[in-house]
Structure 1
Amino acid sequence: MRGAATLGAAALGVAALLAPFTAPADAGAGHHMGGGMGHHESRATRHDVAVARSATRGFQHTPAARAGGYALFKDVQGIACISMRGMGAMGVHYVDGALVDGKIQLRHPEALVYRFTTNGHLRLAALEYLVTRQAWRVDHPTGRPALFGHRFNLTPKGNRFGLPAFFSLHAWVWHPNPMGRFTMWNPRVHCPQGI
Structure 2
Amino acid sequence: MKRKYLLAVITLALAAVGTVAAVGTVIAVGTAAGDPDQLSTARAATAGFHDVDAAVADGRGVLRDALGIACIDAPGIGGMGIHYVKGAIVGDGAIDVSTPEALVYEPQADGRLKLGAVEYVVFKADWDANHSSPPSLFGQTFNFTPSPNRYGLPPFYSLHAWIWEHNPSGMFAPWNPNVTCP
TM range (shorter): 0.7 to 0.9
What runs of 5+ residues in structure 1 fail to find an aligned partner?
A: 1-27
SS at match of 2:27: coil
Q: Residue 158 of structure 1: CA displacement?
A: 4.2
Displacement over 3 Å in runs of 4+: 33-36, 157-163
Distance of aligned partners of 1:132 and 1:34 in 2 relative to their CA distance in 1, 3 Å threshold? closer
Residue by residue over 1:114-154, the C-alpha shift from the partner in whole angstroms, topping out at 9 and shown as x without a partner, is 002242210110000000111002211x2100000000011
Q: Which residue of 1 aligns with 2:114?
A: 123
Say yes or no: does 1:99 pair with 2:94. no
Q: Which amino acid aligns with 1:181?
A: M
SS in 2 for 1:32: helix
Task: Output the CA distance in 2 between the equivalents of 1:151 and 1:70.
Answer: 25
TM-score normalised by the chain length of structure 1:
0.75
- Structure 1 contact 31–179 (Cα < 8 Å) conserved: no
Work out which structure has the larger RCO, using CA pairs closer than 8 Å and 6 or more positions apart in sequence. Answer: 1
Residue 41 of structure 1, aligned match among 33, 48, 54: 33
The number of equivalent residue pairs is 158
CA RMSD, Structure 1 to Structure 2 (Å): 2.2
Query: Judging changes above 3 Å, is the alpha-carbon distance between structure 1 residues 123 and 147 closer, same or farther for their aligned structure 2 residues?
Result: same
CA distance in 2: counterparts of 1:89 and 1:144, whole angstroms: 24
**Identical positions, percent:** 47
Counterpart of 1:32 (choices 27, 30, 48) is: 27
The structure-2 alpha-carbon separation of the partners of 1:162 and 1:86, relative to structure 1 and needing over 3 Å to count, comes to: closer
User: Of 66, 81, 84, which residue of structure 1 is paired with 2:71?
Assistant: 81
Question: Which has the higher Rg, Structure 1 or Structure 2?
Answer: 2
| Distance across 1 between alignment mates of 2:144 and 2:29 | 25
Q: Which amino acid aligns with 1:121?
A: R
